[in-house]
Amino acid sequence: MKKLMMLFLLIFTVGAKSFSTTPPDEGMWLPMFIERLNYVDMQKMGLKLTAQELYSINNSSLKDAIVSLGFFCTAEVISDEGLILTNHHCGYESIQSHSSIEHDYLTDGFWAYSKAEELTNESLTASFLVRMEDVTAKFKSKLTNDMSEKERQEKIDAITDKLQNEASDDGKYDVEVKSFFDGNEFYMFVYETYKDVRLVGAPPSAIGKFGGDTDNWMWPRHTGDFSMFRIYTAPDGSPAEYSKNNIPMKSKHSLPISIKGVQKNDFAMVWGYPGRTQRYETSYAVDLAINQSNPSIVNIRDTKLSIMKKDMDADNAIKIKYASNYAQTANYWKYFIGQTKGLKRLDVLNKKKEIENQFTEWVNQDAKRKEIYGDALSLIEKAYTELTKYNLSQIYVNEAAFQGPDIIYFSYGLNPLYKMLKNNSDKTKAAKTEAEIKTAADAFKLTTEKFFKDFNAPTDQKLFAALMKMYYDNVPKDQHPEIFTTVEKKYKGCFVKFAEDVYKNSFLVCPVKLNKFLEKPTLKAMEKDLGFMTMRSILLAYHSIYEKTAVAQEQLDKGNRLFVAGMLEMNPDKKYYPNANSTMRMSYGQVLDYIPMDAVHYDYITTIKGIMEKEDPNNDEFIVPAKLKELYTKKDFGKYGLNDNMVVCFITNNDITGGNSGSPVINGEGQLIGIAFDGNWEAMSGDIAYEPNLQRTICVDIRYVLFCIDKLAGAQNLIKEMNIVE
Ligand code: ARG
């Protein structure tokens, strides 16, 4: 998941964020409240550690082994020397960035047999939570119900700034203050962020991505979805940028690894950084998702994927360049197909309406409640009526433009420079100096090498032509970016011709032209560049939509905040957990099978036999590496096997979502038994409504991981570092 892309996604998302009440096993709990809310329950289910051993801010505890990998994935510390485990799909972009036709680590895997062989990764970070704090009281005293949303946000920003300054200890810590329960509570998170994180190992994709997009989001699964990194620090142990003088991190806590194996009903907990759930989304949001947003996203991504695939299949170099982009696009393409199906099959829309009816009934019972919460649902309804008018625009700006052809997002990086030059063309404004302009141009230069490494102009041109055409065809005309008029007039509405012109002339697609422009950037050159001006035009269209929807967005925020507050008040005895928001959470449950549909039972483990059953040498997604086959034939599983077989994956009923990828699955003794990497097809609506009978977390068994490191890769150097409990 690309971080910056995610930013866009978040800005553009129409919707509520929230929490839910709790049937067993549902819930992504805040570590600081485990003792109060969950501990007794967890003990009954098989937890042997004390609450202090799980989360403590004074002594080292389990939470100190949990890493946020750039806030897009989770990792866990498994040695005293900063060795961390995560998913293959979390390390994918790093693995890809080190790959070329000569060293194709995606296909062949990569292993560092000494620390000197580990590979550095620009811009990959590892953050540890130092502490968290409930700061709601600091906000509540300053926020009132009759404030406008704008005033409210200004207050929130001011208090947040102050808290961040106080807690950052002169920049030593990264401090985040986040709203929970739709703006009803606030918590502060203090992190220490390490910036030298090196690639240590990854299996070949035939193991790490076995089953590909066909098996993605599905059980039964046979994927060895893991990769390894190491965190480095300055010689004094503090976080530092990459330097050859850095040393492996001295871990505060590292997880012991159990190879005793899993049994049905075993206690299992997952720790990590789930990104986003919408468990308290209203029926209005569900309706829009099912009927418009999801099908549109899927439709756009269908086009993107088929264009990329054609070029990737034709040329191995292009295949490597686009591997990560393709995988990310395909992942959420399938997600939204599954979510729509799940929402329909489980009748989530009517379940939501039911909850809203109960809420309304409760509100109407009491005059005071009516005064406070009476408008909540009508505000939400009104907001959705308005937001729906602009929804397709927002989706196309996001999916077809900024996450579409690469030049759009790339050229967005030139926007600061453009604004300076534009400013200087206006005599009434104070001029930006040469030096300021040079700084902006130089800052952009830093992004160009990485961009061109994964760029193929002909592929991008095809994406541009097809996606801009879809944007033109599907978004209401009065919301079109201005540039579409040019396409109508100058190119007779032909986007293929338009794209030809863009890619023939734009400085964005050619390093030589771009460098020449950056040496002496002028407003004229930018305004003449069709590629850059396409981005500008779409950006302006987006700004105008943003302005038009501002009031509705405020209504929605207020409506959701009141609705959630009302629900909390309506069920005072229920334990609540907040929606996922990329903060540390713990989910507990057990290893468990399930019944996906009438007459079908899915077991809770898969084995290496199943890998052989799925083998298809003619299908990229189901190739089995020769070495794995050899070990299978010899039944040479070392101490990681089970009789003459070996477990590959297992499932639990832990409650996780995207961002939890790479999360440790931990037994009652605090030992690592697996790595969480996916959810299952029958519960794809789970981010909006948890389904206790269906929702499962798919984990790679730690024994299979160790087998791959030990027997397949022969990386005993790494095995030796770990604390393996037999
Ligand atoms: N669905 C997984 C997740 O979002 C990603 C799996 C990656 N594998 C793949 N075939 N794309 O965490």
User: What is the band of 12 on the pLDDT scale with cuts at 50, 70, 90?
Assistant: very low
Region label for 575, one of left (φ > 0), alpha (ψ between -120 and 50) or beta (otherwise): beta
pLDDT of residue 601: 98
Percent above pLDDT 90 for the chain: 94
Beta strands in 164-272 (DSSP E): 174-180, 185-194, 196-202, 227-233, 247-248, 257-258, 267-272
Beta bridge partners of 76: 66, 85
Atom of ligand 1 nearest to the CA of 679: 1
Average of pLDDT values for 58-70?
A: 97
CA of 657 to the centre of ligand 1 (A): 11
CA of 59 to the centre of ligand 1 (A): 35
pLDDT of residue 10: 38
DSSP annotation of 381 reads: H
Q: Identify residue 260 by its one-letter amino acid code.
A: K
Atom of ligand 1 nearest to the CA of 327: 11
Residues 6+ away with beta carbon under 8 Å from 233: 82, 194, 196, 239, 240, 246, 247, 248, 249, 250
Q: Identify residue 228 by its one-letter amino acid code.
A: M
How many other CB atoms are there within 10 angstroms of residue 35's CB atom?
A: 14
- For residues 166 and 346, give the distance between their C-alpha atoms in angstroms, rounded to a whole number: 47
CA of 1 to the centre of ligand 1 (A): 10
Q: Name which of 320-329, 451-460, 569-578 the model is least confident about.
A: 569-578
Q: Find the helix or strand (DSSP H, E) in which 74 lies.
A: strand 73-77
Residue 179 annotated in active site: no
Of 699, 595, 601, 584, give the one whose Cα is nearest residue 652. 699
Half-sphere exposure of 622 (CA within 13 A, CB side): 13
User: What is the band of 23 on the pLDDT scale with cuts at 50, 70, 90?
Assistant: low
* Cis peptide bond upstream of 572, omega within 30: no
How many other CB atoms are there within 10 angstroms of residue 717's CB atom?
A: 16
Of 90, 119, 252, give the one whose Cα is nearest residue 196. 119
Residue 98 annotated in active site: no
The contacts found for 448-451 with CB under 8 angstroms, 24 or more apart, are 448/511, 448/514, 448/515, 450/97, 450/122, 451/406, 451/410
pLDDT of residue 22: 55
Catalytic residue among 661, 663, 687, 701: 661
Flag whether pLDDT at 13 surpasses 90.
no
CB 265 within 8 A of CB 251: no
Q: Measure the N-to-C terminal CA separation of the chain; round to a whole number of Å.
A: 36
CA-nearest residue, atom 2 of ligand 1: 678
CB 302 within 8 A of CB 692: no
CA-nearest residue, atom 7 of ligand 1: 89
Rg (alpha carbons) of the chain, rounded to whole number:
26
Residue 253 annotated in active site: no
H helix count then E strand count, the chain: 29, 22
CB 452 within 8 A of CB 511: yes
- For residues 353 and 373, give the distance between their C-alpha atoms in angstroms, rounded to a whole number: 17
- Cα angle for residues 128, 132, 136 (degrees, 5° grid): 150
Catalytic residue among 215, 225, 678, 701: 225
Mean pLDDT estimate for the chain: 95
Mutate to test the pocket of ligand 1, among 106, 210, 213, 216 (most ligand atoms within 8 A of CB): 216
Atom of ligand 1 nearest to the CA of 215: 10
Mutate to test the pocket of ligand 1, among 89, 219, 301, 339 (most ligand atoms within 8 A of CB): 89
pLDDT of residue 11: 39
CB 421 within 8 A of CB 437: yes
Atom of ligand 1 nearest to the CA of 89: 7
Average of pLDDT values for 11-37?
A: 68
Flag whether pLDDT at 64 surpasses 80.
yes
Task: Give the position of tokens 């811009």.
Answer: 123
Of 41, 67, 74, 39, give the one whose Cα is nearest residue 53. 39
Ligand 1 binding pocket, CB closer than 6 Å: 89, 209, 212-213, 216-217, 327, 330-331, 658, 661, 677-678
Atom of ligand 1 nearest to the CA of 661: 12
How many other CB atoms are there within 10 angstroms of residue 692's CB atom?
A: 15
Summarize pLDDT for 467-476 with one digit per residue, the tens.
Answer: 999 999 999 9
CA of 93 to the centre of ligand 1 (A): 13
Average of pLDDT values for 295-321?
A: 98
- For residues 442 and 10, give the distance between their C-alpha atoms in angstroms, rounded to a whole number: 28
User: What is the band of 7 on the pLDDT scale with cuts at 50, 70, 90?
Assistant: very low
Flag whether pLDDT at 418 surpasses 60.
yes
CA-nearest residue, atom 12 of ligand 1: 678
pLDDT of residue 211: 98
pLDDT of residue 1: 32
Summarize pLDDT for 238-293 with one digit per residue, the tens.
Answer: 999 999 999 999 999 999 999 999 999 999 999 999 999 999 999 999 999 999 99
Mutate to test the pocket of ligand 1, among 86, 106, 270, 331 (most ligand atoms within 8 A of CB): 331
DSSP annotation of 102 reads: S
CA-nearest residue, atom 6 of ligand 1: 216
Flag whether pLDDT at 512 surpasses 90.
yes
Summarize pLDDT for 598-645 with one digit per residue, the tens.
Answer: 999 999 999 999 999 999 999 999 999 999 999 999 999 999 999 899
User: What is the band of 25 on the pLDDT scale with cuts at 50, 70, 90?
Assistant: confident
